[in-house]
Structure 1
Amino acid sequence: MTRPITEHTGQLFVHYSQFLVQEEAGSVTEDLPLGDNGLVEAGEGRLTVHTGIHTGDIEVTLRAYGTEPEAELAGFEEVVEVSVTSPSGNLTVGELMTDPGAFPSLAPQGPGSYRLRFHARGRDTAPDEAPEHVVEWYLIQSWPAPPAPPQALALNDACGAELREASSGQEITRTVPVAENSGLAAIRARQARLEQEGD
């Protein structure tokens, strides 16, 4: 089993159902539409990770490796990989409306190209709500790697299915039927609101 070089777990406060991965020196990757995976999108020089909750704390674990680690698929509904470039070696996780917080860099080996693997669990628990305690967990693995196309290793939550469907305009087969998830209407309302705010 590959051991991480650095590891950090902490809480992050979410605004408007998203948090960011940003590079101090500017653009991190080519644009990536949300409809491609329903978890991570890229634009305006940063990565945006979409949460189920609207506002509140989530738990985020960062693990940086020297070589590609095993994907931790057990216990996570969504797992997506993307390539990024870190010109400064300061690739940070942060909140939407504040400067990067106490999380260490996802590029501890300095400037270069990295692969990020995003894992998400719990996005269907309280969609578009503001829970008083943590109901969502995220793991981000990073390691040096040449650029490669984005890859989805697991796409199994209803939140991601709804975001993919709303973003792509195509019908997506859900792993959770609509009748079993009362939060889907809230997710649709959130996506409609985000599209209106973007106009």
Structure 2
Amino acid sequence: MTANGVVRVDHHQFILGSAETDTLATTTEGSLIDLGPGFVTVRTGIAYGPALLSVELHGQSPAPSASDWEVVEEGSITVDEPIHVLTLDGEVVSPFDETLRHVDADTYRVRVSARGRDLKWDMDVSEPVESYSMDLWRAPFGKFEQIKKQDQAWSEGAESDDTSPAAEDTPSLGDLVDSGVSGIRGTPRLDVSLDPQLWDGRPPTGALLDTVSELAESKANRQTIKQLMWLSFLNRDALEVVVGSDARQKDEIARWAVERAYQEAGLLEFEWARKGIEALLAHQPLPDPFDGKSGERDVIAGDPDFSRTRVHAISILYPASQPYERWNIASYTIYQATSGSPHAVFNTLWNAVMTAGQEGYQELLEDLVGRFS
């Protein structure tokens, strides 16, 4: 019993679980999947965009097909209520429900396979470049297994305090940051390196160290730690302003970042977008089409008059990347700013920085310092 379709990736992930799944309750973490009570979070190479997915329910353990994939992992979940393929914002991806409606309450093994995660790492794509397969079958609860690992996405670094590259290697800043958030232990309580080279020559102290420590204690926040490292390189003063702000000012910074992202992307030329931003800044309910899922993205994508301006990736982070469309990234910021997460400001600000790109990130961060310091 198989279903094939496309799933929308958001923040490097999509989910198999119930509508009420708490995906922060991770108990097991792999390179491809994170597992928790009744859910599987799939880690993708792309940050945003569509990915191909196949979901198959088996009567018994299927024969391994690792030769077709670059990474394969499996683990166990206990299902207590109907499960679905979900986007990060909880939207049900309906093509897969025809298969998943046959998943009754019980314990299942879930084998997830993937390929293509290295092709467009951390980028926003408009066409699928990654493929995933999910196989489910009833089985007693068992341990997590990594069956195959040939890609570099979400790879763990060596457990060592030596983060310096080999003499013959010339990694980008992105490579160094990846190594710093993937298992190099900087202190007894952090699985994050505090090596100064990963933080623009100045290791985290004070409020920034407190923030990194809090994020590190929940491994679901590794992407946010990476964003803090990058922001430290781009403008440490701006990062210190944000982490040193109280909850009220963090919320204001997040809302300001949304407005700035919409401005950078050219979206404020539309009345519906201006009204949405005005409501956001006034802390009022958001009007249509801001439904908390993809309403505004649907409007933008379907508007033939919208000029889809492109921007170059920040060269110090992505030296070989191609230009990308600003609106694709900007359109996620309202959802991020209003998510209720205590760390929403970092995700929102990062998307605003990415929307500004190489051409505008310095001015954006300097403006943040001038306004909120």
TM-score by length of 2: 0.43
**Amino acid in structure 2 at the alignment position of 1:146:** P
Task: Tell me how far 1:47 sits from its aligned partner.
Answer: 2.2
Match of 2:224 among 179, 191, 194: 194
Q: How do residues 27-176 of structure 1 correspond to structure 2 at under 5 angstroms?
A: 31-34=26-29, 37-43=30-36, 46-88=39-81, 90-102=82-94, 103-104=96-97, 106=100, 108-161=102-155, 164-165=156-157, 170=159
Any conservation in 1 of the 2:51–2:130 contact (CA below 8 Å)? yes
How much does 1:43 deviate? Answer: 4.3
Q: Distance in 2 between matches of 1:24 and 1:98?
A: 6
| Structure 2 Cα separation of the partners of residues 181 and 107 of structure 1 | 46
Amino acid at match of 1:110: D
Higher strand residue share: 1
Q: Does 1:19 align with 2:19?
A: no
Residue in 2 aligned with 1:3? none
Q: Which amino acid aligns with 1:147?
A: F
8 Å CA contact 1:116, 1:141 repeated in 2 = yes
- Are the counterparts in 1 of residues 58 and 137 from structure 2 also a CA contact under 8 Å? yes
How far apart, CA to CA, are the structure 1 residues paired with 2:140 and 2:176?
39
The alignment-based identity, stated in percent, is 23
Match of 1:125, SS?
Answer: coil
Alpha-carbon offset, residue 160 of structure 1: 3.0
User: Structure with the greater relative contact order (CA < 8 A, sep ≥ 6): 1 or 2?
Assistant: 1
Larger Rg: 2
Aligned position for 2:320: none
CA spacing shift, 1:143–1:61, aligned 2, 3 Å: same
Equivalent pairs, count: 180
Gaps of 5+ in 2: 161-167, 182-221, 229-342, 347-373
Q: What's the CA shift for 1:106?
A: 3.9
Matched residue SS, 2:154: helix
Task: Tell me, in whole angstroms, the C-alpha distance in 1 between the residues paired with 2:32 and 2:6.
Answer: 19
- 2:38 and 2:80 in contact (8 A); partners too: no
Asked whether the 8 Å contact 1:127–1:187 carries over to 2, the reply is no
Alpha carbons of structure 1 residues 183 and 128: separation in structure 2 relative to 1, 3 Å:
farther
Pairwise CA RMSD of aligned residues? 3.3
Secondary structure of 1:160's match?
Answer: coil
- Equivalent position SS for 1:158: coil
Offset, 1:193: 4.2
If the length of structure 1 is used for normalisation, what is the TM-score?
0.76
Q: Does the 8 Å CA contact 1:128/1:187 hold for their aligned counterparts? A: no
Deviations 1:2-44 (A, max 9, x none): xxxx10010011111111111257579x84343xx21111347
CA distance in 2, matches of 1:122, 1:94: 21
Residues 180 and 76 (structure 1), Cα distance of their counterparts in 2 relative to 1, 3 Å cut: farther
Q: Which amino acid aligns with 1:41?
A: D
